[in-house]
Amino acid sequence: MDLSIAAAKALDAADPLAGKADQFSLPDGVIYLDGNSLGALPKGVDQRVANTLANEWGTGLIRSWNSAGWVDLPQSVAAKLETVIGAEPGSVVIADSTSVNLFKLLAAALERAAAMEAGKRRKILTERDNFPTDNYIAEGLIRLTGETHELVRVDTPQAVLPALDEDVAIVMLTHVNYRNGFRHDMAAVTAAAHAVGALVIWDLAHSAGAMQVELAAARVDFAVGCTYKYLNGGPGAPGYLYVAPHHLGHCQQPLSGWFAHADPFAFSPDYQPASDITQFLCGTPPVLSMVALDQALDVWADVDLAALRKKSLDLADYFIGLIDDKCAGHDLTLITPRERHQRGSQVSFTHPDGGYAMMSALIAAGVIGDFRSPDILRFGFAPLYIGFADVWHAVDKFAHILETRQWDAPQFHARKTVT
């Protein structure tokens, strides 16, 4: 691999996605390698939100629920996302947060599993290193339902398939691990779960927007995800959920709010769930964040997802090669798979000194990654706006910080609330 800056510039010149970077607003002098935590701002989002504030709300007032299509945003915005995650039309809805949506889906999936199975299955199978909120939600639901189910945590992704048995009701996994970037084979795991009669819920937070996600082709039952990472919906942007069409109408979610009713504006005193994906809504949609997301998703209209995935993998390969070359001897340990098809779009390292101060120094130098406790330096590669020259300059700065021990200054050791 040619690791020169000239080679990086040549790769950028040949990049079929290179022009997409012009659709984002990024500050000068910053190399942003944290799109796996919060995506960059797509151009036009600020104007869209300003128009909603000034005209749709300011002038249209309550009329804009109809005239500006506010009431339809959960489905109309979801329609733009369906192609990005390989979902069938009408199988996705934008709503709430990932955590709330997972609560809804897990409860619905357990009910569906019970209806499909004569015996009582007790296990919800997951990974110990799954994103914590997912496991917390499962623990909370188990408490609410009287401890009739058990959360079973395996220690490695390779232990998932051997743990499948006929007592597993639900397999609940994150497609790409937030710590080390390991990527599950969605189709293979889903098929293995189905073979023992289990249903599957996938969390797409660290995969959607960085690679092909083919929910329908993989015969996935349920999925959740956030929109503020690779999908660039903005801080705290609403989440989404997916329900395979053959499950719609056959299970109920527990947060039976009025927007999940078959006819919300009938204001019936009794609940009657909608039979389509809107059954998984709850309360009034947050219009300002919805319109920001709606505008942000327009950047995906012409994106070749196969080219996106290839660039993601190539960027990470290039980054790993540069770290191996420029940062050797500084005790960095790669915990992301070197095998490119086993990883998502991030690269993570550990360091015996913890790594927090190193990441803080790197951010101060204009290269933004992030840190995950206790000792993980994490770098995300959003292929729409990161190039190979960006990666070269990022590693060059990192190598200088390591070589000079700039990171060991007191100001870089002081912990901030958000890491």
Q: How far is CA 358 from CA 1, 409, 416, in A?
A: 27, 10, 14
Work out the pLDDT band at 4, boundaries 50, 70, 90. very high
Region 375-402: what's the mean pLDDT?
Answer: 98
pLDDT over 60 at 118, yes or no:
no
Question: Which stretches does DSSP call E strand in 231-320?
Answer: 240-243
The residue type at 89: P
Region 351-376: what's the mean pLDDT?
Answer: 96
pLDDT over 70 at 351, yes or no:
yes
Look up the CATH number of domain 69-300.
3.40.640.10
Q: Which of 115-119, 220-224, 294-298, 330-334 has the lowest mean pLDDT?
A: 115-119
Alpha carbon distance 366, 374 (integer Å): 23
Nearest to 348 by CA among 383, 309, 374: 374
Q: What residues are annotated to the active site?
A: 131, 203, 228-229, 378
Region 318-323: what's the mean pLDDT?
Answer: 98
pLDDT in tens, 128-179: 999 999 999 999 999 998 888 999 999 999 999 999 999 999 999 999 999 9
> Residues of the chain with pLDDT > 90: what percent?
96
Q: What is the pLDDT of residue 48?
A: 98
Domain 5-43+304-413 has CATH 3.90.320.10: no
Q: What is the pLDDT of residue 119?
A: 59
pLDDT over 90 at 211, yes or no:
yes
Whole-structure pTM value: 0.97
155 CB burial (10 A radius; 0-12, 13-18, 19+): exposed
| DSSP labels, 192-220 | HHHHTT-EEEEE-TTTBTTB---TTTTT-
Domain boundaries, the chain: 5-43+304-413, 69-300
Task: With residue 366 as reference, give the H or E element that holds it.
Answer: none
Alpha carbon distance 111, 124 (integer Å): 13
**CATH topology identical between 5-43+304-413 and 69-300:** no
Evaluate whether 266 touches 114 at the Cβ level (below 8 Å).
Answer: no
Helices then strands, counting H and E runs in the chain, come out as 12, 15
Q: Which two tokens stand for residue 371?
A: 């840190």
